[in-house]
Amino acid sequence: MRRIARRENELWRRIPGHNKSVMPVLELPAALAIVAATPLLFVDLRMDYLYGLLNLSFSGYVVATFIMVQITMMAVTLYLHRDQAHRALDLHPVLRHFFRFWIWATSGMLTREWVAVHRKHHAYCETENDPHSPQIYGIRKVLLEGAELYRIEKDKPETIEKFGRGAPDDWLERNVYLRFKYGGIVLMLIADLLFFGVPGITIFAIQMVSMPLFAAGIINGIGHYSGYRNFECDDAARNIVPWAFLIGGEELHNNHHAFPTSAKFSVRNWEFDIGWLYIKTFQLFRLAKVRKVAPRPVIERQPRPHADLENLRAIIVNRMHVLRDYTKRVTLPVFRTERAIAAGNSALRKAKLLLVRQPRLLDERAKARLRDVLSDNAALQTVHEFRERLRELWSGANVSNEKLLAQLKEWCAEAEASGIQVLEDFAARLRSYQLATA
């Protein structure tokens, strides 16, 4: 009604002698003008409703669309990923129900299906059983057809049965979300048209494409193809950018794969995870509880005379930091020294990445180049072998603590007798690792 009154007043002001209190004494031309303007009033009102109940400006539609897409990203990273798939976070039931509904309404996805596909991705990362690895399928297919790869995998009953355990299986899931799989999408379309009018069609389209593009395409594709790596984990995951604002913090994908059960994706001081900001905000209102974050290495000033079980546990818990430390303090210094000595060796000059990467991530041609480099350089061969032996401390299965401790003591003793100073220093540093106190 206020809108009608406002439009009526605007039309009165356009007419000569527009004071409504003198309507009976207006001259004939003015009266005819009023009669002629009356249909315009109702046409204009009908046009207003084409823009929905909110009737926003162009910038208003842009802001509303951005906010809704960000809510979708928040639902994916906080609820589906950190809360349900990895149990790094406990969200309040109110938030869980809201995010579950929002995911259903904006994509038709079910929590159990998403969780199962994602857990299988971690279990078989960069192998033929990985549902969406660009190392297997190619970056173009994952980037453009990531949603289709997801649909293929979520339709496999064995995947859902094995990897979907612990996901919601309540009355609401069985009788609403599972029974009316695309009912939420229909509700979202109706809501967009009601509140935003004709522009709601565009807003709806953006909502529908946001998850396939950002989550299935960019994160699963570019996040395993291009970017920088803080940690040499056993897969090809990369951090796309250090300041993760747009996709809920998921851009820090290498950090996540290094510490899958961490609720916080940023690790370095200069990195930013907007998902962590959301979590801390919800914590203020007791709507979220953090279960686990990535460990921070604690290094004593004086190394212990001998490695012990506590030292061993600290090394295994902080294994990603230990590998990063080894690369920084041993592999790269030896590489730079040997490169300077053999200045004309082009193969050695290009071998830095080969020495840093995990061998399983190298193709056959790269492995052959690495073998050639190591066979021609005894120092690099030594530090590379010591790194692989160090990884065995946490790679072996069903090995007793006593045997692992014996391996660690042997590793340190042989490193100190290697004749390579940086390797000797690292053996002492390794005995300085200790577990963080609560």
Q: Global pTM?
A: 0.85
Q: Is residue 378 situated within a structural domain? A: yes
Do 262 and 155 fall into the same domain? Answer: yes
Do residue 184 and residue 98 come from a single domain?
A: yes
Same domain, 213 and 314: no
**Does residue 303 lie in a domain region?**
no
How far is residue 256's CA from residue 267's CA, in Å, rounded to a whole number? Answer: 9
Are residue 80 and residue 174 in the same domain, yes or no?
Answer: yes
Q: Mind giving me the DSSP string for 17-46?
A: S--GGGGGG--HHHHHHHHHHHHHHHHHHH
Query: Last residue of a domain, which of 256, 290, 324?
Result: 290
Q: Is residue 419 within a helix (H) or strand (E), and if so which, with residue range?
A: none
pLDDT tops 70 at residue 27: no
pLDDT, residue 20, reads 46
Identify whether residues 216 and 187 lie together within a single domain: yes
Are 98 and 11 within one domain? no
Residue 176 lies in a domain: yes
- Alpha carbon distance 320, 267 (integer Å): 12
Average pLDDT over residues 395-419: 88
Domain end: 290, 322, 351, which one?
290
Based on the fold, state whether residues 267 and 399 are members of the same structural domain.
no
Which structural domain, as residue segments, surrounds residue 18? Answer: 2-51
Report how far residue 121's alpha carbon sits from residue 225's, in angstroms, rounded to the nearest whole number. 15
Specify if 302 maps to a domain: no
Lowest mean pLDDT among 146-155, 183-192, 350-359: 350-359
List the structure tokens of 306: 């001998």
Instruction: Determine how many CB atoms are found less than 10 A away from the CB of residue 252.
Output: 31
pLDDT in tens, 259-297: 999 999 999 999 999 999 999 999 999 999 999 999 998
Distance (Å, whole) CA 213 – CA 429: 45
Distance CA 185, CA 100 (A): 13
Contact 184, 100 (CB under 8 A): no
Same structural domain, 133 and 277: yes
Domain presence at residue 122 = yes
**pLDDT (0 to 100) of residue 100:** 97
The number of CA neighbours under 13 Å toward the Cβ of 93 is 2
Residue 24 and residue 92 share a domain: no
Question: What gap in Å lies between CA 46 and CA 235, rounded to an integer?
Answer: 58
Last residue of a domain, one of 229, 255, 290: 290
Neighbours of 401 (CB within 10 A): 11
Number of folded domains that form the chain: 3
Greater pLDDT, 123 or 44: 123
**pLDDT tens-place string over residues 353-377:** 889 988 888 888 989 999 988 988 9
Both 31 and 90 in one domain: the answer is no
Task: Return the pLDDT at 438.
Answer: 61
> What was the pLDDT predicted at 24?
43
In a domain, residue 193? The reply is yes
CA distance 411 to 431: 11
Query: Is 386 domain-assigned?
Result: yes
Average confidence (pLDDT) over 248-256: 96
My answer on whether 382 and 243 are in the same domain is no
**Which residues fall within 8 angstroms of residue 435, CB to CB, at 6 or more apart?**
298, 310, 313, 314, 317
CA dist., res. 107 & res. 360, Å (int): 36
Q: Do 332 and 392 share a domain, yes or no? A: yes
Could you report the per-residue pLDDT of 109-119, keeping only the tens digit for each?
999 999 999 99
Q: Does the structure show a pLDDT above 80 at 41?
A: no
